[in-house]
Structure formats: C-alpha cells, structure tokens
Amino acid sequence: MVLELKKIARDLKIKLPDLITRPVGRRMYERVCTMLEIIKDEEVVVIDFDGISVIDSSFIDEFLLRLIINSRENSPAFFVKLKNFSNSMEMNIEAVLKSYHAYNQERIAVMTDGITANNAYFIGNLTALEKDVVNFLRVNKISTLDEISAITGLSHEETGDICRSLYGLRLVRLADESAVRYMPV
C-alpha cells in the first residue's frame, strides 16, 4: 500500500506543502489508521512524501513515530517504508527517533526506499552488524540464515538473533514461515 501524504492532506483540507504541528500529525495518523484497516498481515506500507516540503518534529512524533510503533505492536503486522523525503526531513526524523530511544530506552528505526545521507537504507540507530545484514539483504533480496551468517562471520544462532531483532524492529521480513529465510522491506 502506498500512502501519498500530499493526497491525504488535501482530502483533510490541510494546507500544503508543509506538514507541521501535533494536530496535523494526529489528523493524518487517524486518517491513515482507517486506511490501514484493509491491509494484509506482513504488508509493506510506503509513506510517500512527494510534494511535501517540510515536516517538523511534532508532526513526526504524532504521525510517523506512532505509525512505526503501531506496525510493531498491532495486528495485522505491517512494515513502514519511506519514500521521496528530503535531507532536512531525514534529519528531523532521525532526531525524533533518537529522542524516542533516549527517553524510552527502546530502539526504533524505519526503512527507506533509497540510500540516506548516512549511507544506509534506513533511518535510526542500528549496530554495525545489523546494518550489514540490512544492506546484505537489500543486495541479495532473499537469503537464508546460513548465507547471512557467512557474510557476518557469526554463528547461526547469533545471526538468527540479529535477524529476529531486525524483524521485531520491522526492518526485514520473513521470506517464509520457517524463519530461516529473510528479505528486505
């Protein structure tokens, strides 16, 4: 499912091109939640920022952060991926995710459709090994735990722990129900 923020904002009569303030974030979040009622389990929800110039931390906190948390905690489970965001949006999103982590002692990250300013395909704080796994999966599309283990140099069990952690963060998907093959979001 692709959620075009510009279209949703227009439907809600929100003045564009900027999405700022908590009330705007809440309205957008509430609308998106109704749209998500039809998604399938494990579906990727692409948030398209095309046509949006500015998002502030209040909007990010009320809309994007809540959506990412919702993707991990509610059923059906889904994945969030960002598309067409600017460098300033990326910096604002990164700051909100870091603040959330510092305050709640809970890691949070989100996938992107392209490489970020931090030379990654995600925004958020991951370990070097987690970043390697995400990047490996972006290149190889579907990989077994054995293949991922070979690239990381870790044991099968340690690699499985990393992949399960990344899955819990909603940064990788299970390619099949056996949980031995993973793929990127």
Question: In the chain, where are the structural domains located?
Answer: 1-125, 126-185
Instruction: Please determine, looking at this structure, whether the domain spanning 126-185 carries the CATH number 2.30.42.10.
Output: no
Residue 169 CA to residue 167 CA, distance in Å, equals 5
Q: In whole numbers, what is the pLDDT of the chain averaged over residues? A: 93
pLDDT tens-place string over residues 93-111: 999 999 999 999 999 999 9
pTM above 0.75, yes or no: yes
pLDDT tens-place string over residues 48-87: 999 999 999 999 999 999 999 999 887 888 999 999 999 9
The count of residues in the chain is: 185
**Banded pLDDT at 179 (limits 50, 70, 90):** low
Residue 59 CA to residue 90 CA, distance in Å, equals 13
DSSP string over 50-92: TT--EE-HHHIIIIIIHHHHHHHHSSS-EEEEEES--HHHHHH
Mean pLDDT of 160-181: 88
Annotate 88-113 with three-state secondary structure.
HHHHHHHHHHHHHHHHHCCCCEEEEC
Query: What pLDDT, on a 0 to 100 scale, did the predictor assign at position 75?
Result: 80
Residue 139 CA to residue 166 CA, distance in Å, equals 16
- Domain 1-125 shares a fold with domain 126-185: no
Residue 112 CA to residue 56 CA, distance in Å, equals 18
Task: Inform me whether the pLDDT recorded for 19 exceeds 90.
Answer: yes
> CB–CB of 150/110 below 8 Å?
no
Domain 1-125, CATH among 3.30.750, 1.20.120, 3.30.70, 1.20.1300: 3.30.750
